[in-house]
């Protein structure tokens, strides 16, 4: 009986999200909540804190992406925010665990609808989630994730802007 219980608990753990490298969804939601608050209050310091410094200053995704600073300027000026679709998150193909791709709506409360959809790439660094980049083309966001995982230079290859 004891062995059966131990085996059952081990099986349950191995199939659980803790073992499978599932992210802390609450931590990821906080990043999006903080960005929304920052955009609504025109608080660039709070918005910038959610991004890796290099990706705030420079577009690391490629042609379909923007640096965090440009996202802040557009969102605060146009009145939209980034609305995460947490039920649709996924990892980089062939990679278990972080970084995670979060499908994200560019949401306008004034228009009560999504204006666009992008893909945000979140990494876990310094005990918290941060934005590494985002863009409209999933393939470019995945490529940034692979560069991060493989410890390659994060900037997109020349000619791939």
Model confidence over 58-109: pLDDT tens digits?
A: 999 999 999 999 999 999 999 999 999 999 999 988 777 779 999 999 999 9
Strand partners, 130: 123
**Can you give the pTM of this predicted structure?**
0.83
Give me the percent of the chain exceeding a pLDDT of 90: 75
Backbone angles phi, psi at 6, to 5 degrees: -60, -45
Q: Which domain holds residue 30?
A: 21-149
Residue whose tokens read 């804190």: 49
Q: Which CATH number goes with the domain that contains 83?
A: 3.10.450
pLDDT-derived band at 132, boundaries 50, 70, 90: very high
| 126 domain residue, yes or no | yes
| 39 domain residue, yes or no | yes
Rounded distance, CA 55 to CA 7, Å? 45
Give me the percent of the chain exceeding a pLDDT of 70: 84
Instruction: Tell me what the pLDDT averaged over the chain comes to.
Output: 87
Instruction: Extract the tokens encoding 89.
Output: 């998150």
| 27 domain residue, yes or no | yes
- How many domains does the chain contain in total? 1
Contact call for residues 143 and 65 (beta carbons, < 8 A): no
């Amino acid at each position: 009986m004891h062995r059966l219980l131990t085996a059952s608990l081990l099986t349950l753990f191995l199939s659980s999200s803790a073992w499978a490298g599932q992210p802390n969804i609450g931590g990821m939601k906080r990043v999006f909540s903080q960005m929304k608050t920052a955009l609504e209050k025109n608080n660039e310091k709070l918005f910038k804190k959610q991004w890796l410094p290099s990706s705030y200053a420079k577009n690391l995704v490629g042609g379909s992406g923007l640096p965090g600073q440009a996202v802040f300027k557009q969102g605060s000026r146009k009145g939209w925010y980034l609305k995460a679709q947490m039920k649709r998150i996924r990892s980089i193909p062939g990679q278990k665990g972080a970084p995670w791709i979060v499908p994200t709506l560019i949401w306008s409360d004034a228009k009560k609808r999504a204006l666009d959809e992008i893909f945000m790439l979140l990494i876990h660094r310094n005990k918290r989630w941060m934005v590494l980049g985002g863009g409209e083309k999933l393939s470019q966001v995945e490529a940034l994730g692979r560069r991060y995982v493989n410890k390659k230079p994060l900037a997109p290859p020349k000619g791939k802007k």
